[in-house]
Amino acid sequence: MAFLTSSIGSFPKPPALHEARRRFSEGELDATALRQVEEEASRRVLELQDDLKIDLLVDGEMDRADPITTFAERLAGVEINGWVRVYGDRYVRKPRITGKLARTSSTTAERWRVARDLARGAVKAVLPGPYSLMDGSFDEHYGVRREVCLAFAEIVRAEALELAAAGATEIQFDEPSAGARHDELPLLREALGRVTAPLRGRARVWVYLGYADLSGSGVELARLPASGLLVAGAHCEYEGLAAFAGALPPDTVAGVGVVDVLDPRVESEAEIRDRIGVVTKLVPADRLWIVPDGGFRALQPAVARAKLTAMVSAAK
């Protein structure tokens, strides 16, 4: 059988966009011109996915230097710190919460409308989740992690409702920090519940769990309030997936990673088919989506394209 496919969100940014960003930061390019370059990059990402016959498209996040920072820097009560090392040679500029968090404008709906109009297929809107926004920020105002998380939940909910009003029927919340602290799994569930409750009947809700420890937290994560849960697996040979899959509610679908985006080596179609074979022994085939472990942001464009091509061929 053929499996449905999607991607997680980010794609490599082309050289023209990196150059445009440099010129914008140095005052040589205005915001409108930068936006045009970003939209052209999104168009190419959408065309690639259309050509490969991906079932559910993403815009590639061409407007986001980092998912957490780019979202948070548009909010009241936030300042952006200097560079902080995340892992390996990857650095981000972490948000610093200095006052009460609040939206100052819409940050997502118009970008999604542009992508929808550029694409031939359905486009998934992608937002950072409230727990990961909290976990990825320095708090100098609230003093209590739960208060920060729920403040972000109110903001993300408003963004999601605006997306639904614009016509988005597929909305993904990125929670790569899910399971980072086992004692905060109830907070993760509470925050996502506040975000997703008003979307019921209006949009399919996806939650990306990143590289969460399914061995330790898989049962709790499988029961989060979502229509679909997306997990990495290729990088760890599906450790913990059995517990996670066994706890999935009958109405929840699972997108399981079969391409390792941390490895620049391009897997063969046969290798990916073998991984799919492992996954189908754990996740019911009629509730399985085939996805990469994560976004392609850190890969070279040619490598990302080759990995995605092999993934789709194996899934189909």
Residue 82 forms part of a structural domain: no
Residue 97 lies inside a defined structural domain of this protein: no
Q: In the prediction, which pLDDT does 81 show?
A: 76
**Domain ranges, residue 191:** 4-62+118-131+144-315
Give the CA dihedral 131, 137, 140, 144, nearest 10 degrees: 20
Q: Average per-residue pLDDT in the chain?
A: 93
pLDDT given at position 87: 59
The closest of 110, 106, 315, 127 to 206, measured between CA atoms, is: 127
pTM of the model: 0.94
The pLDDT assigned to 245 comes to 96
- Give per-residue pLDDT as tens, 43-63: 999 999 999 999 999 999 999
Nearest in space to 209 (alpha carbons), one of 158, 246, 264, 172: 172
Q: In this structure, is residue 110 part of a structural domain?
A: no
| pLDDT score at 90 | 63
What does residue 231 show for φ and ψ, rounded to 5 degrees?
-135, 150
- Length reported for the chain: 316
Give the tokens for residue 87.
């892992």
Is 54 within the bounds of a domain? yes
Residue spans of the chain under pLDDT 50:
none
pLDDT at 225 (0 to 100): 96
And the tokens for 225?
Answer: 């309030």
Confirm whether 75 is domain-assigned. no
Closest C-alpha among 97, 81, 170, 187 to residue 127: 170
Whole-number pLDDT of residue 66: 82
In a domain? residue 19: yes
Instruction: Tell me whether residue 86 is in a domain.
Output: no
Q: Give 109-154 pLDDT, tens digit per residue.
A: 999 999 999 998 899 999 999 999 999 999 999 999 999 999 999 9
84 within some domain: no
CATH of the domain at 38: 3.20.20.210
| Domain count across the chain | 1
Residue 91: predicted pLDDT: 64
